[in-house]
Amino acid sequence: MTGIVLVTMLSATLADADMPTPAALEAAVIESRTKIRSGTFDFTIHTDETLFARVHAAFDEKGRKRFDFAQYMARPAGTGDIVEYDTRKFLVDDVASIWRLTVHPEQVHASGEIRRQTDEEREVFLDPRMLGRDPGPFESAFHTKIDTLIGIITRKSTSVSSDTVDGVRVWRLDLVLDNNVKVRFYVDPAQGSSIIKSELLPPIGTATTTRIDLKEFKPKLWFPTQIEYTTARKSGDSVTETIKFERVQLNVAEETEFSLEGLGMPVGTEVSDHTQGDKVKIRIWDGNNWDPRGDGRSFRNFCYHPLRSITGSDCSSHFECRD
């Protein structure tokens, strides 16, 4: 994979005398990402060259997040074509609520729900600043804490050394975690102290290598244009997952991205409201507001499947029932 590399005299002349401490290097990485406060971008997920999903993402300084997610699958009979089969929209607002809109091709009307975030869901919705920071496969990058892994406390040892990635001199940060998993981050100071490569090396199991192409979208604002995860298998081969980014806009956010109108719910969408304790209310969207005819319809006995992942994993076996 060819990366976007901007070589400067700084990266070409890294010397041991300039070597930062592990704490200073980690702080530089975190600082480079916290400069990104808001933005919008689109990305596609490809597994071994096959399109898996398209996602539109938006986030702002108020902590609100928006994800429009479409998952794809191969057509039957081995035609090689792919077809969209699941569309979901998520709006995480600033009062700890999650709006979820689901549209299936076979359904005439969309359905949705609103509920308070759980601790599990706070780990599901990614902080876009984390992209390219996690050495594991893409789904494991869904964390809200910016200091996950970088800045992690539970480690046995930490060290910094000089290394080279594709001819570019970088700092290599080595971590040994309490479970003896080794993690290596390759940090290029010429690209905003950004990670351009990482390796996850468990004592038992499969190793994952992450390679990151970066672009300076605004002065001192570096963000991925592509992330490639390669995981080795015990059989000796490997599986690759590639995330490609487009239409990246940083430190800008459209207010409409985080409104119910902007969510694009079709007229007649029924939304189950789980924010009122055990009593669930059914609301009907009329295109601009809630249709009052939907108010007052409520029930106490219900089953629903909590959100597990916006990467489209099957939730059908995760029903939760309440009395």
- For residue range 175-194, what is the model confidence (pLDDT) as tens digits? 888 888 888 999 999 999 99
Report, as an integer, the average pLDDT of 140-164: 69
CA end-to-end span of the chain, whole Å?
Answer: 53
The pLDDT score that the predictor gives to residue 317 is 29
The number of beta carbons lying within 10 Å of the beta carbon of residue 193 is 22
**Spatial separation of the C-alpha atoms in residues 314 and 318, rounded to whole Å:** 9
Tell me: the pLDDT tens digits for 243-252?
Answer: 899 999 999 9
pLDDT at 114: 85
CA dist list (Å): 241 to 46, 73, 205, 285, 288:
6, 15, 18, 38, 40
Is 233:239 a contact under the CB 8 Å cutoff? yes
| pLDDT of amino acid 245 | 93
Instruction: Note the pLDDT of residue 149.
Output: 57
Provide the 10 A C-beta neighbour count for residue 195: 27
Distance CA 244, CA 45 (A): 7
Give residue 33's pLDDT: 86
List all residues 6 or more positions away from 255 whose beta carbon is below 8 Å from its beta carbon.
Answer: none
Please, which pLDDT band fits residue 80 given cuts at 50, 70 and 90?
low
Q: Is the predicted pLDDT of residue 254 greater than 80, yes or no? A: yes
Least confident range from 99-103, 240-244, 260-264, 305-309: namely 305-309
Per-residue pLDDT band for 282 (boundaries 50, 70, 90) equals confident
Higher pLDDT, 309 or 195: 195
List of domains in the chain: 9-108+119-250 (2.50.20)
Question: In this model, does residue 76 exceed pLDDT 70?
Answer: no
Please tell me the pTM assigned to this model. 0.77
Angle CA(257)–CA(260)–CA(261) in degrees, nearest 5?
80
CA separation for the pair 132, 100 (Å, rounded): 26
Q: Return the exposure string of 11-20: e unless at least 16 CB atoms fall within 10 Å of the residue's CB, then b.
A: beebeeeeeb
Residue-level pLDDT at 202: 83
| Mean pLDDT along residues 127-148 | 57
Q: Is 148 a residue whose pLDDT tops 50? A: yes
Mean pLDDT of 206-212: 88
Range 154-173 average pLDDT:
92
Say how many C-beta atoms besides its own lie within 10 A of residue 202's C-beta: 14
Output the average pLDDT for the chain. 75
